[in-house]
Amino acid sequence: MAGDRVTWAARPESRRASAPSDNAQAWGASNGKPTRVLVGTGDDRFLRLARFLLTRNHFEVRATKRVVRAAELVERHEPDVVVIDASDSLGDAARSVAAIEALYPRVGVLVVCDGEPPRWTTGLKVTEKWAALETLPADIRVLTDARG
């Protein structure tokens, strides 16, 4: 009904999440530190849900509302993975992805967008952002494992 509030009760993927040794999915295997994620999106709802889901799964999350600043923030925050929302500007997202891949090849990049995802010639997979929330922690884990 209009005006009703909905609460999203996502559960962490691991029931034993009290210490790094108990929560291998979000902790870097090589350095024992939490996996760091930078989320670049102008969508407040997506950012709140992504931050909630990722922090609940013990990821360290930073965010920017300016997708064009994502590459600059990689230098400052040293994330393991960057999630870029291409909904507002596919061009800005593409430039950010290209800069991150060129300057920081060890950083994984996931791109999400509203509606039908575009098919980029680079082969980079773009996922519908609301569907991406369902698998975001697992997708980040797979990406960091592949790069680690």
Per residue in 23-82, pLDDT (tens digit) is: 444 445 445 688 999 999 999 999 999 999 999 999 999 999 999 899 999 999 999 999
Asked if residue 125 belongs to a domain, the reply is yes
CATH assignment of the domain containing 108: 3.40.50.2300
Domain count across the chain: 1
Please report whether residue 102 resides in a domain. yes
**pTM recorded for the entire structure:** 0.77
Residue 113 domain flag: yes
Q: Is residue 114 part of a domain?
A: yes
Query: Token pair 């680690």 is at which residue?
Result: 148
Q: Which residue has the higher pLDDT, 39 or 12?
A: 39
Task: Say if 6 falls within a structural domain.
Answer: no
Domain encompassing residue 130 = 33-147
49 vs 124, residue with greater confidence: 49
> For the packed helices 70-77 and 90-103, what is the interaxial angle rounded to 10 degrees?
40
Residue 11: what pLDDT? 47
| Position 19 in a domain | no
Q: Write down the pLDDT at residue 18.
A: 36
Average per-residue pLDDT in the chain?
A: 80
Q: What is the mean pLDDT of residues 121-127?
A: 73
Compute φ and ψ for 54, nearest 5 degrees.
-70, -45
Give just the sign of the alpha carbon dihedral 74, 75, 76, 77: positive
